[in-house]
Structure 1
Amino acid sequence: MADTHSTTRPRSNAARICTILGFVFAVVAVIVLPPFFGLAGVVLGVVGAMKGDKPLGWYAAAASVAGAVLGMVLAAAILNA
């Protein structure tokens, strides 16, 4: 019989939803309120990664940071033009 215990936790639907929302907030952060949506995306990505959606959760968190930075740079460029 196979060993049913493993060191990785199974991915849950809640983890996948958090990860997807993290990516969505990363895109929204480029356009609207970059610090708010960027931070929310980072939190959701980390929660998704901790709940079992390991690589994609971390990618969502990184994408949210990049989206927030890009959004702030674009806002500064537009306001100073």
Structure 2
Amino acid sequence: MADTHATARPRTNAARICTILAFVFAVVALLIAPVIFGIIGLVLGIVGAVLGDKPLGWYAAAANVVAIILSLVIVSTLMNS
């Protein structure tokens, strides 16, 4: 019987660091500069997922997209009030 995880990359420390930084950038994107930090966090989340931190890397990338959208909605709502 073939091992289904034979083609999956093992998680490296670099992958985990990229994923953690991506989550940090999601929080910073929500609070400070959504486009700049959100895109950096999105890239770091994707890199973390590709390097082997599969579920958390994709979650971090998604968190950055949500942070960008949510921050822009909040800012536009406050500006139009």
- With normalisation by structure 1, the TM-score equals 0.90
Divergent runs of 4+, >2 A: none
Task: Report the CA distance between 1:67 and its aligned residue.
Answer: 0.4
| Unaligned runs of at least 5 residues, structure 2 | none
Give the aligned partner of residue 32 of structure 2: 32
Structure 1 runs not aligned, ≥5 long: none
For residues 75 and 31 of structure 2, the distance between their equivalents in structure 1, rounded to whole angstroms, comes to 9
- 2:15 corresponds to: 15
**Which whole-Å CA distance do the structure 1 matches of 2:46 and 2:19 have between them?**
8
Percentage identity across aligned positions?
62
Aligned residues: 78
Letter in 2 for 1:18: C
> Which residue in 2 is equivalent to 1:71?
71
Q: CA deviation at 1:6?
A: 1.8
Q: Root-mean-square deviation (CA), in Å?
A: 1.5
The alignment status of 1:43 with 2:30, answered yes or no, reads no
